[in-house]
Amino acid sequence: MGSLQASQPLEAWQNPEVFRINKQPARSFFYPFDDAKNLFSETPWGSANHQLLNGKWKFNWVETPAQKPTDFFQVNYDDSSWDEFAVPANWEINGYGIPFYHSHHCFKPKAVPPELPLSYNPVGSYRRTFDVPANWNGKQVFIHFGAVKSAFYLWVNGKKVGYSQDSKTAAEFDITSYLKPGENLLAMEVYRYSDGSYFECQDMWRLSGIERDVYLYATPKVHVSDYHARTTLDESYTDGVLEFEATIDNKSGSMVKNYSLEILVLDETGEAIINESLSVPGISKGKSKTVSFQHVTKKPSLWSAEDPKLYRLQLSLTDENNNVVEYIGNKIGFRSTEYKDGNFLVNGKAVLFKGVNRHEHDPKTGHVVSRESMRNDARLMKEFNINSVRLAHYPNDPYWYQLADEYGFYLIDEANIESHGIGAANQGPYNPDIHLVNKPEWKAAYIDRIQNMYERSKNNVSVVIRSLGNESGDGPNIEASYDWLKKQESAPVISEQAQLRRHTDAYGQMYASIDQIVRYAESALDERPALLIEYEHAMGNSLGNFKEYWNAFEKYEALQGGFIWDWVDQTFEKTTESGANYWAYGGDLEPPATLHSDSFCANGLVFADRTPYPYLWEVKKVHQNIGFDAVDISQGVITVTNKNYFIDLSGYELTWSVVGDGVEQVKGGVKALSAEPLNSEEITLDYGHLFKAGVEYFLNIEVKTTRAEGLLQAGHIVAWEQLPFPLIKAQVVANGSARLSMSDSKTAAKFSGPGFSMSLDKSSGLISSLMYDGTEMLKAPPRPEFWRSPIDNDFDIKAYKPSLSVWKDVGLSTQLKSLKVTRMSKYEAKVELEHYLPSVMARYFTVYNISGDGAVNVDVWFYAAPHKKQPDLPRIGTLFEIGKEFNNVTWYGRGPHENYWDRKSSAHVGLFSSTVKDLYVPYVRPQENGYRTDVRHVAFYNKDRKGVVFQGAPLIGFGAQVYAAEDYDRSKQEVAERNMHPHNLIERDRIFVNIDFKQRGVGGTDSWGAPPLYKYTLPWLDYHYSYKMLPYREE
């Protein structure tokens, strides 16, 4: 890849000291109006002084700057041969150029700023005409570009207007002097790569183009160019303080006097709680003046993520003739955000951030995300008890902030700064001598991006923390950025690369383990709180030990929660030539041998189309803001704890039921709740006398909304719990049994009874046949199984853990050492087997107790050789291959969704039914899936409701699917291969059923070496477990 030589003269797109030319100063986001009718509408397109320019533009694309058209911006240029291209839209997913997925590289490894590629740096040229409305005559006209990647020049009517970088905040230009009556021509030249790309090495698809709205707006010659409505609270967190400041520009040809600015703040009933009139001092032509005031409001309704109370702010600019010439509307809230006494405080409370990181991504349109998609994201987050969002890793579309204000999310607004491609402090190789964080010539560009972020969202009440960027090194330019922000206001600022240096208000950790954060909380190393700005890497089948993180967060005041990585898979919806749909990830869209980051873009809590992954239910359960404890469950006394900081429980109601062995026994009425924030209440439930010996009872509790609120519907379940009753032991009564017939030969031992037969191969010691009611259950002999199809967290990266692959074929190479058959009675026989597992030097003992009624009790002992060390076992169990006709499944255990040893808090114990195909979870890269834990019994049966039951003694885990484990591993590199998709799997003529003692936890601390917590692993030790096989018959 060719690169720019330092000796050549630098264009603006190559020069780190040039990042804006003739660009309007960054300002808060608002729409100006000439009347009050549309002040609080979501969009202004129906108003007279806005013109949306989205739609089809003329477009030309070339691979290099040397190929770009040189005079395309001229009015008489012939663009008839150009394509028509949508605005907004990304080039690469619409056939222009190549989408690349990198987790951190800028455009190639080891790039040295400010060098840029010359052999591949596409340039997109745009042209579009528009008419200036007649009623805009005499007004000031601006053009707004919401987001353009990565840098661009602008011309109007053949004249160069300016230049802009920072692809995730607005670029605005005053184009008044460039316009003419009637038709006007816009021309843009957009560069895929610029020196600004060194700031934009985020973990996402590298796409280019115009990504947000483009529009024109007109203002009076004298207009409000910016304002800041900063709200906070007094020291008692009772009264609201509004600190207001507005800048009025005079673009007329003469001095203006006697203007005034009216400020109204209205509550939800329309009553004014603030009504202020500010006289604007005389303003010379071409100049501006600032007006300000401060107002204390007694006991306003406060804004929080739990209760997002908003007020309507209305600004009216009045001229010397007392005519209102401009209106501006916005919604504001009263809240305080501060770092104080070792915590981040919102309204004086050390809230817990139950957060996610969110990239802007759509599976069809890339980085162009619709309002409908954003609103859907907000709804899902609310439904799943997410209260905060880190805007990873750039300022988001302004509409997202409006949603957060309106419906209640705490936001970390993050500057569009990530220089991960040239190294990140605390992460592997890092050369401070070449890093732009230490280069004086890059300092102004840092401050510019910080200012763009701050100014745009300074009026959004949801922004409670600001971030200086992500994985962008640490040095003087980050320090200067922190200092600049702190001069604007004292609100909390975080910089994860700063660690515990002076220029961060929190210990902003990434992927710290539970032990690490607990040590920090207990060490008193620093008074600043720890906030995991990224944790629980949700790549593939992940998010284990989530409950343990939250046990720590809730225990230690110094820990204030975290932000899961991340919200949505960054994959694309694609279809094969044969019509199979799949999700494309790194390596699927790039040319062969192109550097990419595989499936690291598939680490969301939801698929790209926003279908929840099973572990999103774990997030909802662990995040829930209401807790439950049994005081005296036998008498129906429980405690309900309100974990909210600002709202009581009067908006919710509790419903309950008692289930016995998975069947509902009694359903209670509705209980009203009233607990105050951070308090508990005791309630008593009346079950009656229903308990029987030998039945497993649970109290199931649900708390629901009593009315629609924000994005939540009435009746939405916000919290639930399942509390066990003490088990009343039943007297053991010996059951009668059918007579067992036996035949024993040199090759096989055979057993049979009414509707039952079983054969054991004496050469292998494996069951060769199991028949119930004349139907063969088995397609192959059951065998020991220790392997699972590798999940992403199993991969051996950076040699952090020994390979698990030693266990892959252990169950296929068992050696029979001894076999003993003993008739115990006329009803029962016992078979004792010893197998040797040579590849791991372990012994495996099995005892079958076989009854004439078809019940087969199985006891298994696994003995690890003490002189041999092996990696942890992925699982311990037995693999059954049964007929495909037994595709119906009923189980009594945890469900209904997929769950694992370290991710089962959200799965309650119950009686569930499904089909084998519906158990399957189509992870983007195929891997272990569809498991269920704490299973008392599971049945597989055919359309005639005949089949087989596996009963735990006491508990087992099971999984079932129509794909073989070797299909998941099928590739040249075996388990190290990542580029597979669900459509690559081959559906077999049988069902593969795993009946396990345990399967290793899925982990989630990170996806590059961290194992599951030790208590969720199967180390090289001895194990024993039991289960029973029975015929399934349902009359």
Q: Residues 651, 707: contact at Cβ < 8 Å?
A: yes
- The 3-state DSSP class for residue 802 equals coil
Q: Residues 829, 823: contact at Cβ < 8 Å?
A: yes
Phi, psi of 578 (to 5 degrees): -85, 0
Distance (Å, rounded) from C-alpha 46 to C-alpha 776? 71
DSSP for 327-387? Answer: EEEEEE-B--EEEETTEEEETTB---EEEEEE---BTTTBT---HHHHHHHHHHHHHTT--
Burial 120-129 (b: 16+ CB within 10 A, else e): ebbbbbbbbe
| Model pLDDT, residue 972 | 37
- The 3-state DSSP class for residue 938 equals strand
Domains and CATH numbers, the chain: 12-219 (2.60.120.260), 222-332 (2.60.40.10), 355-568+604-619 (3.20.20.80), 624-724 (2.60.40.10), 774-813+866-1033 (2.70.98.10)
| Model pLDDT, residue 966 | 86
> Which amino acid belongs to residue 344?
F
CA 763 from chain centre, in angstroms, equals 52
Q: Residues 653, 671: contact at Cβ < 8 Å?
A: yes
Burial 556-586 (b: 16+ CB within 10 A, else e): bebbbbbbbbbbbbbbbeeeeeeeeebbbbb
> Which amino acid belongs to residue 224?
V
What's the length of the chain? Answer: 1035
Distance (Å, rounded) from C-alpha 725 to C-alpha 638? 12
| Model pLDDT, residue 179 | 98
Sheet holding 20-21, edge to edge: 20-21, 159-165, 151-156, 183-191, 123-131, 55-62, 83-87
Helix residue ranges per DSSP H, 614-773 = 615-623
> Which amino acid belongs to residue 918?
D
Apex CA 245: angle with CA 243 and CA 250, to 5°? 170
pLDDT along the chain (1035 residues), means of 10: 55 97 98 92 92 98 97 98 98 96 79 89 98 96 98 99 98 98 98 96 95 98 99 98 98 96 97 98 97 98 99 98 97 97 97 99 98 99 99 98 99 95 70 87 98 99 98 93 97 93 95 97 93 98 98 98 98 94 92 80 97 99 98 96 99 98 94 98 91 95 97 98 90 72 95 97 98 97 96 68 83 96 96 97 98 97 93 97 98 99 99 98 96 99 97 98 87 51 94 98 94 97 98 84
CA 783 from chain centre, in angstroms, equals 39
DSSP E strands, 171-323: 171-174, 183-191, 204-206, 209-210, 214-219, 222-233, 240-250, 259-266, 272-280, 288-297, 311-318
Residue 839 DSSP code: T
The tokens for 759 are: 């054969």
Token look-up 């949508």 returns: 86
| Model pLDDT, residue 975 | 37
Question: Is the preceding peptide bond at 523 cis, omega within 30 degrees of 0?
Answer: no
- The 3-state DSSP class for residue 154 equals strand
Secondary structure element (H or E) that encloses residue 639, with its range: strand 637-642
Q: HSE (CB half, 13 Å, CA atoms) of 739?
A: 2
Distance (Å, rounded) from C-alpha 704 to C-alpha 651? 9
Secondary structure element (H or E) that encloses residue 402, with its range: helix 398-407
Residue 742 DSSP code: E
Residue closest to 770 by CA, chosen among 745, 988, 884, 761: 761
Task: Mark residue 480 as left, alpha or beta (left: phi above 0; alpha: psi -120 to 50; beta: remaining).
Answer: alpha
| Model pLDDT, residue 8 | 67
Token look-up 């160019």 returns: 225
Task: Mark residue 71 as left, alpha or beta (left: phi above 0; alpha: psi -120 to 50; beta: remaining).
Answer: alpha
State the catalytic residues: 471, 534
Distance (Å, rounded) from C-alpha 586 to C-alpha 393? 19
DSSP for 961-999? Answer: ESS-HHHHH-STTGGG-----GGGS---SEEEEEEEEEE
In angstroms, the Cα distances linking 739 to 750, 877, 1028 are 14, 30, 18
Residue 491 DSSP code: S
| Model pLDDT, residue 4 | 44
| Model pLDDT, residue 429 | 66
Give just the sign of the alpha carbon dihedral 294, 298, 304, 309.
negative
